[in-house]
Structure formats: structure tokens, C-alpha cells
A and B are shown apart, each in its own frame.
Chain A
Amino acid sequence: MVNVLYFAWVRERIGLPREEIETKAETVADLVAELSGRDARYAAAFADVSALRVALDQQLSEFSAPLNGVREVAFFPPMTGG
């Protein structure tokens, strides 16, 4: 099981802040493809991954990164702190 978190407009488009997912996805990109296929809300959120960032276990990562051993995946737009 992997905990998947969504923030900002990704959260709004999908309509959930977090969910637990049973997946066999090997990489972040595989997980994105799997989620996008669920329904129109997910497809809209993941339509342009160049507009998204991903964190694995609370560290910024890449869409090509492997998921083995990862417990928490977060998707969000580029950060706007400060």
C-alpha cells in the first residue's frame, strides 16, 4: 500500500487530499498512468505532468524514479512559498 497525497489545484481537481492505493506501478510515471486512467478528474489533474512536481517520502523526486519501498507519494504544482 502506498499513501498518495495531493496538494493545491491537484487536490482540487481530484477532489481528495489523500488516499491509500494498492498498486504494482514500478515508477512514478507508471503510477501517474494508472491514476490518469481512473476517471476524468484524475486525467485532468495529470494532463500535463510538466506542470507537476512529485515528492517521494517527503523528498522532491522525478517522474522516472522507482517506487519500490516508497510509502508516501505526493503530487503538487510548483511551490510558491516565501
Chain B
Amino acid sequence: MHIRVQREPFDFGEECGRFGQDGRNVGAVVSFLGVVRDDSGDLASMEIEHYPGMTEKALGAIADAAMSRWDLADLLVIHRFGALAPGEAIMMVATAARHRAAAFEAAEFLMDYLKSRAPFWKKEIRREGSAWVQARDDDEAALGRW
């Protein structure tokens, strides 16, 4: 289980390449990459604030919950903070399991919980002013399915 909270960029391909490759009992690897999206076309950057200390604890608790619920060989979470440009990678999760169902489900579970239970806040810095990204009711509702 690997959890990293960092300002620096990461290389998605490289991370995927070395993840979950060492286990003989791994038959499925699922990975997800979250990217800074620019819906309106005037996004200068996305600023991600977090709560050092609580972030690591919350991510650890979410990852522990996934490990105990599914039979995973390994799990990786990387989440960045700081100022990110449109198109830059914000975060990734990867899961490795014997079969694909567990790998897919655990990856979705991690994403759902990361969205509304890990202390990160996004602010869109636009040329015409800036605004905090609002949490969506859908994000909270998504937890209900687990």
C-alpha cells in the first residue's frame, strides 16, 4: 500500500509500469488519472489546498478500508497540492487484485471517498476572477452505494 501527498508532478506511465507487477497472484491492475479540466476556457490554474497531517490520516483510513473490503494485492494513491495548470495530473489511484471486479470496485470506492472525505479543496484561478470549487451533492450521494 503506497500513499503519497506531494507538490511535485508524477509520471502516470512510470507509476503504472512499476505498480502491481511483482505479485504472482495479480491478474488485474486498474488505474485512474485525475486531470485539471478547463470547462470555460479561461482557467489559468487550479490551486489545491490541503490539511497536512489530516490528509495523510484520511487517505490511510480510506486505503485501509479498501484493503480490508477487497482482496487486493496492492494499492497506490498519489494526490498533489499547490498550483496546477490545465491538463496537469492532479491525482491517481491504482489497484491490483487477482480478478478485475475487485480491482475496478476498489478503485471506484477509493475515488468516491477521496472526493468527499480527504481534506483537499480546489480553487479555480481564472483570468476573470477566481472561485472555490463547490462540493456536489452527487459526490456525497456516491458514498451511499458503498
Q: How far is the CA of A66 from the CA of B53 in the complex (A)?
A: 22
Contact (Cβ within 8 A) A79 B49: no
A-B residue pair count with CB separations less than 8 angstroms? 68
Contact (Cβ within 8 A) B117 A79: yes
User: Main secondary structure on chain B at its contact with chain A?
Assistant: mixed
Residue-wise, chain A 44-82 has the 8 Å CB interface mask toward B (1 for contact) of 000000000001001110000000000000101111111
- A interface, size bucket: 10 to 19
- Chain B residues engaging chain A, CB cutoff 8 angstroms: 34, 49, 51, 53-54, 57-58, 79, 90-91, 111, 114-123, 132-135, 140
Residues of B with C-beta under 8 A to A9: 132
- Chain A residues engaging chain B, CB cutoff 8 angstroms: 5, 7-9, 55, 58-60, 74, 76-82
Q: How far is the CA of A9 from the CA of B123 in the complex (A)?
A: 9
Contact (Cβ within 8 A) B49 A7: yes
Contact (Cβ within 8 A) A74 B54: yes
